[in-house]
Structures are given as C-alpha cells and as structure tokens.
Amino acid sequence: MKPATPTDAAESSKILKGKWRRRGVGILDFILRVVAFAAILAATIAMGTTDETLPLFTQFFQFEAKYSDLPALTFFVIANGIAGSYLLLSVLVSIFNILRGHAAITKVVLILFDTVMVALVTAGASAAAAIVYLAHEGNSSANWFAICQQFGSFCQQTSGALVGSFIGALVLILLVVLSAFTLYRRNPPLNSKI
C-alpha cells in the first residue's frame, strides 16, 4: 500500500473543507427558507383574520372592516398564501439537499422560482401597503377619507401583516443571492472569464 504523501493529505483536507462549506451553505439556505416561511405564514394569517365590526351603524357608513372588502388585501392573502406554500415545499427540497447533495441545475431552478416569489410577495405587500397607507392617511385630492380613526384594530393588524411580508421578500432576495454565490463557487477557478 502506498503511504499518504503530504500532497494527498492537503488534497483530502481541501475536499473535506469543500464538503463542509457546501453543507454550511445548505444549512444557511434551510434556515433562511424557514425564516421566510414563518414571516410569510404569520403575514398571511394576520391579514386573513382581519375582521373588525364597530357597534355603530349609520345610514351612510358600513362599520365593518374585513380584508376581503378590499381587493388589494385579498390579493395580499392570495400572493402570500402561494409564496408560503412554495416556501414550505422548498424547505423540504432544502433538507433533501443537505442530506443528499443535489445537481447544480437545481440551483438555477430555485433562483427562477425564488425570483418569481420575490416579485409575487413584493407585489402583494406593496399593493396592500398602498391601501393601508390610504386607510391611515386618506387623500384629500381624490376625496378618499382615512378610515383608521374608526377601524384602529383593523389598521394595526394589516400594518403588522405588511411588515411580515416585506421581511419575507427580503429573505427571498438573500436566498437568490446565496444560490447565485453557490453556483459561482461550484468550480472555483475564481478569476475565470465567462
């Protein structure tokens, strides 16, 4: 049997280091996906359960506020619901990848879906933010009145949901960049031209 040379030892240490780096990146990917999932699930539930009825009623105003009364908030719930389901699925993929390793093309597919989800979550959150802002501030030019004086709890709950959703979008952006960086480090001729 040939004894191990220093070169062999250096080589195997390099391979081991690479393996642990990949596993570390895999675990980071998993943690980020869990965080994004939790934030978006919380946002969906917070928005989906808004329903405030005031013990008053006049001829001109309906004193009930619910997310489904406003199309932008309904879209928020749908968009975050889709993104949450996707993230749950991708958490499972992430676990599988940590345990088994995966083909590099998986990262390209994840970048595609993660980027679409960035757009979907941001779209839902921003559309809802525009409406929640209007509910808080009103708009004198369009003669739209603020409704948050009446519906304080509704406005608080929707604002909280927005925060969760924007955190989810931010974490999704980090996931895209992490995947891109993993692809970049895959075969390390670091200064290679492409």
Residue 161 interacts with its own copies (CB under 8 A): yes or no = no
Minimum CB distance to its own copies smaller for 4 or for 69 = 69
Quick one: which of 11, 99, 119, 153 contacts its own copies (CB under 8 A)? 119
What 8-state DSSP symbol labels residue 144?
A: B
Burial of 146 per CB tally in 10 Å (0-12, 13-18, 19+): middle
One residue of 126, 156, 159, 160 binding its own copies per CB under 8 A: 126
Question: Residue 139 belongs to what H/E stretch?
Answer: none
Q: Report the residue number, 5 or 140, with the smaller CB distance to its own copies.
A: 140
Burial class (CB in 10 A: 0-12, 13-18, 19+), 67: buried
| 193 near its own copies, rule: CB under 8 A | yes
Stretch that binds its own copies, among 29-37, 42-50, 80-88, 111-119 (CB under 8 A): 111-119
**Is the CB of residue 87 less than 8 Å from the CB of residue 33?**
yes
DSSP 8-class letter at 102: -
9 binds its own copies (CB under 8 A): no
Query: Per-residue contact track with its own copies, 134 to 153, x per CB under 8 A?
Result: xx-x-xxxxxxx-x------
